[in-house]
Homo-oligomer: A and B are copies of this chain.
């Protein structure tokens, strides 16, 4: 099924939704649900059923008309589509609070993702233990660490001004997928996928909710 998918033809939003569908299917599997229609799936998790069908259609035929999707089968197919059928190794650059938080946050690098190095340029941080039991290493060792430890994903948790040079160094070391938490626009090097995480989006969503909620009576 993976063959023939042009990743450029699938939008980032579609991929993010596949990841959400996967989480929903895992939940359904835990609950013992065996089949589910796109309508039920949409209703249960507050999604859009037409969108679900459209998103999945990029990857082939799923589900049986009138019956719906086989939960565990679709889950397994999403695992494969998302490339989660093998471990992906991560290097975190920037051993500040955010880097330290991410390297042992089970909602981030658990199940299928493994942080194998945390790097920094600050001598006072190098050699310090991380909460996950690694030691912070010198960022200058990046070119050896990436191939030696089979690192595929770089995570940038530096201050904004270091983000572009760190991104370039990661690409130079052979990394093809970068997650950037620094509040900076990054120019992605050729052939490298850079995803900048905008943490403020979530606060703005809550602000929208606060601005439009019915006035409470005192």
Interface of A with B (CB < 8 Å)?
2, 5-7, 10-13, 15-16, 18-20, 22-23, 46, 48, 81-84, 88, 90, 96-98, 100-102, 105-110, 112-113, 131, 152-153, 157, 160, 176-179, 181-183, 191, 193, 195, 197-213
4 extra A-B contacts, CB within 8 A, seeds A16-B205, A97-B131, A193-B213: A19-B205, A88-B207, A97-B101, A193-B206
**A84 proximity list for chain B (CB < 8 A):** 204, 207
Please give me the residue from chain B that is nearest to A90 by CB atom: B203
Select which of B83, B106, B113, B182 is within 8 A of A212 by beta carbon: B83
Please give me the residue from chain B that is nearest to A194 by CB atom: B206
- CB pair B15–A208 under 8 Å, yes or no, is yes
- CB pair A203–B183 under 8 Å, yes or no, is no
Known A98-B98, A108-B203; judge A176-B88 contact (CB<8 A).
no
Select which of B83, B96, B204 is within 8 A of A207 by beta carbon: B83
Known A11-B48, A84-B204, A107-B199; judge A211-B101 contact (CB<8 A).
no
- What's the least CB distance linking A1 to chain B, in Å? 11
- What's the least CB distance linking A54 to chain B, in Å? 12
**A157 proximity list for chain B (CB < 8 A):** 101
Main secondary structure of the interface of A (DSSP, over half): mixed
**A212 proximity list for chain B (CB < 8 A):** 2, 5-7, 83
**A208 proximity list for chain B (CB < 8 A):** 7, 10, 15, 18, 81-83
Please give me the residue from chain B that is nearest to A207 by CB atom: B83
**A109 proximity list for chain B (CB < 8 A):** 200, 203
- CB pair A201–B107 under 8 Å, yes or no, is no
- What's the least CB distance linking A125 to chain B, in Å? 13
- CB pair B19–A204 under 8 Å, yes or no, is yes
- CB pair A105–B176 under 8 Å, yes or no, is no
- Residue of A19, A20, A81, A157 with highest tally of chain B CB at under 10 A: A19
Alpha-carbon gap, A200 to B195, bound state (A): 13
27 contacts between A and B (CB under 8 A): A2-B211, A7-B213, A12-B205, A13-B13, A16-B205, A20-B201, A81-B211, A82-B204, A83-B211, A83-B212, A100-B101, A102-B199, A105-B181, A107-B181, A107-B182, A107-B183, A107-B199, A107-B200, A108-B203, A110-B183, A110-B200, A113-B203, A153-B203, A176-B209, A179-B202, A195-B202, A195-B206
